[in-house]
Amino acid sequence: MPQEGYGTVSENYYVKQLEQLVGGIVADVVWDEEEEDGVFGVETYFGLEIVMPDGKRMIVWFYQDDEGNGPGSFEIQEAGWVASP
């Protein structure tokens, strides 16, 4: 885990976002198709469903265009809960 003040402000932001997934298990690959003018599949977004130890489900969405401009980005989204075994 990086120390406070490590790296750039942007790097610290991404590290803090990702740290909330520590201890989780990748449960599934997910995707979502964007609709434009009634047509689905204009853009397709991919992500990973993560199940946390307390049962909370999270989704990490990956964003980057096919040209590979820049390092890309991601978003973490809460996705509900999984019942305890």
What is the distance between the alpha carbons of residues 57 and 36, in angstroms, rounded to a whole number? 28
Tell me which of 1 and 36 has the higher pLDDT: 36
Over residues 61-77, the pLDDT tens digits come to: 887 765 545 556 777 88
8-43 confidence digits (pLDDT tens): 777 788 888 889 999 999 999 998 877 777 666 667
- Which range has the top average pLDDT, 35-39, 53-57, 58-62? 53-57
52, 57, 54: which is closest to 22 by C-alpha? 52
For the chain, the structural domain boundaries read 24-81
The whole-model pTM stands at 0.63
Q: What is the pLDDT of residue 68?
A: 47
Which carries the bigger pLDDT value, residue 64 or residue 51?
51
